[in-house]
């Protein structure tokens, strides 16, 4: 059985602390304090680097934002803004290279991914996880938008207000206001009309 030398053990401990940073009890308490100052709520663990983003003012949360268990908010240098009254359901992931903006009173169902980035794969001599990210531009989701379960929103996309995106859809182009879209890639099925 291999033995763990001191240098390897120290490196492992640093990595463990980094990967577990959002799960440590004092970090969870600090996160909930930061959420409370913004009148936002998390019902379970929030993954990623949400606490760091809040402290650096790169994560903006409106009043009454609700983060369900397993939400993952992450960015190295970008910004994430989530409007008041929005709900991110179980295991939603928001990843920003530059900027992801979600409007007020939006609902993201279980398993959605919203990102303005994509992994680079252009250097055959560098492992993919080390190549960094590229982006086609920010993502903007308008007010009162509903994303069904497991929707993927890709970089450079704008989703108009009161749009609905069907479950398991992949949004690669802009979605107009009041549109119902579905598919991979998502296509307009019809427009919502009131009255």
For residue 32, indicate whether it is catalytic: no
- Distance separating alpha carbons of residues 123 and 130, to the nearest angstrom: 10
Name the H helices within 48-180. 50-55
Exposure b/e, 92-109, CB count within 10 A at least 16 = b:
bbbbbbbbbbbbbbbbbb
Structure tokens at 67: 């983060």
For 159, residues 6+ apart whose C-beta sits below 8 A from its C-beta are: 140, 141, 142, 145, 153, 165, 171, 174, 175
Active-site residue, from 47, 64, 105, 119: 119
For residues 165 and 151, is the Cβ–Cβ distance under 8 A? yes
- Distance separating alpha carbons of residues 145 and 105, to the nearest angstrom: 7
Q: Which residue has the tokens 């602390």?
A: 17
How far from each other are the two terminal CA atoms of the chain, in whole angstroms? Answer: 72
| Active site members | 119
């Amino acid at each position: 059985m291999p033995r763990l030398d001191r240098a390897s053990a120290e490196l492992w401990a640093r990595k463990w602390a980094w990967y577990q940073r959002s799960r440590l009890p004092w970090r969870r308490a600090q996160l909930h304090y930061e959420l409370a100052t913004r009148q936002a709520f998390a019902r379970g663990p929030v993954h990623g680097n949400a606490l760091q983003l809040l402290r650096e003012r790169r994560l903006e949360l409106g009043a009454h934002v609700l983060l369900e268990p397993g939400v993952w908010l992450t960015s190295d240098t970008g910004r994430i803004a989530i409007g008041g009254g929005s709900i991110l359901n179980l295991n939603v992931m928001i990843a920003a290279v530059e900027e992801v903006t979600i409007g007020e009173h939006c609902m993201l169902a279980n398993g959605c991914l919203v990102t303005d980035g994509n992994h680079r794969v252009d250097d055959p001599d560098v492992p993919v996880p080390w190549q960094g990210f590229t982006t086609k531009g920010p993502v903007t989701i308008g007010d009162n938008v509903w994303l069904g379960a497991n929707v993927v929103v890709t970089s450079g996309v704008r989703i108009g207000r009161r749009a609905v995106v069907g479950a398991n859809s992949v949004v690669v182009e802009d979605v107009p206001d009041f549109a119902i879209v579905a598919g991979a890639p998502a296509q307009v099925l019809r427009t919502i009309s009131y009255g």
